[in-house]
Amino acid sequence: MEKQFDVIIMGGGAAGLYGALNLDKRLRVLVLTKQSETLSNSSLAQGGIAAVTDTKNDSVQKHINDTLVAGGFRNDRRAVEILTTEGPADVMNLAKLGVDFDLNEDGTPNLTLEGGHTRPRILHHKDCTGKAIVDALLVKVHERENITLLSDAVVCELKKTEHTFHALVLLPSGEQVTLHSRFFIIASGGIGRVYEYTTNSAIATGDGITLAYRMGVPIKNLHFVQFHPTAFANRKTRESFLISESVRGEGAYLLNCHGNRFMHEYDERLELAPRDVVSRSIMEEAKRTGSDHFYLDITYKDPDFIRNRFPLIYENLKKEGIDMTTDRIPVFPCQHYLMGGIQVDSDSQTTIPGLFACGECSHTGVHGANRLASNSLLEAVVFSRRAASVINEQALRTPAQFDDFEFSPVLPERELPHGFRTEIRAIMQHAYFVAPDFAAAKEGVKRVEEIKNELDRPGYHLTRDYVEARSLAYVAYIILKELIEE
């Protein structure tokens, strides 16, 4: 296989694919996905993508204000301005690339409301907007002759020499290859699998964040973890499917174990308060009632409207024996998103020249301490496009040079001990769920550091399981360390 590229992109979600499509067609681009090309956190995004497209009833300033309020004013103001002012053009470009956003009869976008937004500004495709975006981008990526997409490829190590990035990649066959590029974009998604329960996909183990950290790149605010208030509470599986914020946006009520609404006791914005507020309110209500049984109820709406507006959620719930047109939906908070990550500037550049990070794995500062609903897909496309613009300018201005370097094959001396990942997840769930338990965090970080140090010993059999366990250990260590130092 070809081993030299102008740009290697680690991750095939919205940020990775949109970034690839914005790179100049003269550049040779490789997109690596850890499992199938359709598996990413982006594909699981239900609600939509936020952008001011109705300037008569909305404004960029209102979107800025909503983002700052939701983020507890811990946002980077410059990043928020970039997101909200440049975002509408990128969303319109997504439509040109084939994303089928739902429209009104007059052809204008059908905008919905979500928690924390003071105006309807969420463009959507039913309740599977992320999948619609990723599927459309994949079609375009496969049409581009300069882009190669390689699936089931695990990036195990990353090194920078004078002119070149070198990635040690584990192929599905078990073969270890060293791939080289002039520029490298980390778009590896989130860290949800560090928790016992998450809405994230199986690949969300923080691999890109770990690689950047091991290279000396600053990681910032990794403890800014978002817990979505309304994941489906089936209490059986590690991966919990989301009951989108847009269900509440369309009028669903949040009920306690007695079947009563309660958000008025905690926040005047009721069910449409920002996610962190609703999650904390549920935990307080659970203490008050002595029960962790909570429900969403949208049964008062027209059944045909519910089925047409939320077909994916409706079908997923039907498989669980619940008809959301007639039944209440069991919900409970669950780990959902990461606001911190690899520190980057407004063009997604890290402190290492030529190394960029985009999407959920990056820290642009745009989300502050809590992400406003549907700003995630917007951040992915805005800042990956900005990264591509910088790379285009730099790559076409300088001739290609590649340094010689090959990773030495890892000769296995020991197998991954059983249970490390399970232990890490239990520590994180206990130390930091919705609100941190600082005593548990101080105790947990000691054990996590022991696991991290053990997995850093040379000679482990290089497998996907090993890479993911090491990443989870690093991620948990950084989160808990930040928590107890804040």
Q: What is the pLDDT along the chain (486 residues), one digit of tens a residue?
A: 899 999 999 999 999 999 999 999 999 999 999 998 888 878 777 789 999 999 999 999 999 999 999 999 999 999 999 999 999 999 999 999 999 999 999 999 999 988 889 999 999 998 889 999 999 999 999 999 999 999 999 999 999 999 999 999 999 888 999 999 999 999 999 999 999 889 888 899 999 999 999 999 999 999 999 999 999 997 676 678 889 888 998 999 999 999 999 999 999 999 999 888 999 999 999 999 999 999 999 999 999 999 999 998 999 999 999 999 999 999 999 999 999 999 999 999 999 999 999 999 999 999 999 999 899 999 999 999 999 999 999 999 988 999 999 998 777 788 898 999 999 999 999 999 998 999 999 999 999 999 999 999 988 999 999 999 999 999 999 999 999 987
Strands 355-357 and 29-32: unpaired
Domain(s) labelled CATH 3.90.700.10 in the chain stretch across: 231-333
The Cα–Cα gap between 158 and 174 comes to 18
User: What pLDDT shows up at residue 51?
Assistant: 97
- What are the residues facing 294 on neighbouring strands? 331
Q: Which amino acid is at 242?
A: L
pTM: 0.93
User: What pLDDT shows up at residue 114?
Assistant: 87
User: What pLDDT shows up at residue 70?
Assistant: 93
Residue 203 DSSP label: T
The Cα–Cα gap between 370 and 269 comes to 16
Name the CATH superfamily for 4-224+339-397: FAD/NAD(P)-binding domain (3.50.50.60)
Domain(s) labelled CATH 1.20.58.100 in the chain stretch across: 420-485
Structure tokens belonging to residue 16: 């990775």
CATH fold group of domain 231-333: Flavocytochrome C3; Chain A, domain 1 (3.90.700)
Residue 340, CB half-sphere, CA atoms under 13 Å: how many? Answer: 16
Cβ contacts of residue 383 below 8 Å, gap of 6+?
A: 15, 82, 83, 344, 346, 347, 348, 358, 359, 362, 364
> Which bin fits 212, alpha (ψ -120 to 50), beta or left (φ > 0)?
alpha
Domain(s) labelled CATH 3.50.50.60 in the chain stretch across: 4-224+339-397
Catalytic site residue from 275, 328, 371, 385: 275
Domain boundaries 420-485, corresponding CATH code = 1.20.58.100
Q: What angle do CA 376, 155, 33 make, to 5 degrees?
A: 50
For 249, the enclosing helix (H) or strand (E) is helix 245-249
Active site residue 275: yes
The Cα–Cα gap between 40 and 56 comes to 35
